[in-house]
Amino acid sequence: SQTIHQWPATLVQPVGSPLSLECTVEGTSNPNLYWYRQAAGRGLQLLFYSIGIDQISSEVPQNLSASRPQDRQFILSSKKLLLSDSGFYLCAWSPPGLGVETQYFGPGTRLLVL
């Protein structure tokens, strides 16, 4: 069966510091991968998605970037965090292909920027 992992679970970082959040998927090959952000009390915003290694699409221009160095690894990064980057970051995967597939979510990372 497929599983998705995210770490760290919680992170407190000062403004201006770098960020690296990691997401890995097991039990599947060539998944579609996604990064979402959920601000406090609000819905989900799609940040990035990837249909393959080094193939990243950005949905919203921002202070963040994403990379996919391996098939089942998706990394969310920032060179300098802003206060507005605080939120709950969720990674998701869906079966490979370009059709509509159900997305399955990881446990999330709570990021607080102070």
Partner 1 sequence: AQKVTQAQTEISVVEKEDVTLDCVYETRDTTYYLFWYKQPPSGELVFLIRRNSFDEQNEISGRYSWNFQKSTSSFNFTITASQVVDSAVYFCALSENNYGQNFVFGPGTRLSVLP
Residue 91: CB atoms within 10 A of its CB come to 27
Residue 108: CB atoms within 10 A of its CB come to 18
Which residue, 80 or 91, has its beta carbon nearer to partner 1?
Answer: 91
Stretch that binds partner 1, among 12-20, 66-74, 77-85, 105-113 (CB under 8 A): 105-113
Stretch that binds partner 1, among 15-23, 60-68, 72-80, 91-99 (CB under 8 A): 91-99
DSSP letter for each residue of 58-100:
ESS-SS-EEEEEETTEEEEEESS--GGG-EEEEEEEE-SSSS-
Token pair for 20: 């690296």
Give yes or no for residue 83 binding partner 1 (CB under 8 A): no
Binding mask 25-64 for partner 1 (x = CB under 8 A): -------x-x-------xxx-x--x-x-----x-------
The residue type at 96: P
Please give the span between the terminal C-alpha atoms of the chain, in angstroms, as a whole number. Answer: 38
With CB under 8 A as the contact rule, the residue among 1, 69, 83, 98 that binds partner 1 is 98
Q: Using CB under 8 A as the criterion, which residues of the chain lie in contact with partner 1 when the complex forms?
A: 32, 34, 42-44, 46, 49, 51, 57, 88, 90, 92, 94, 97-108, 110
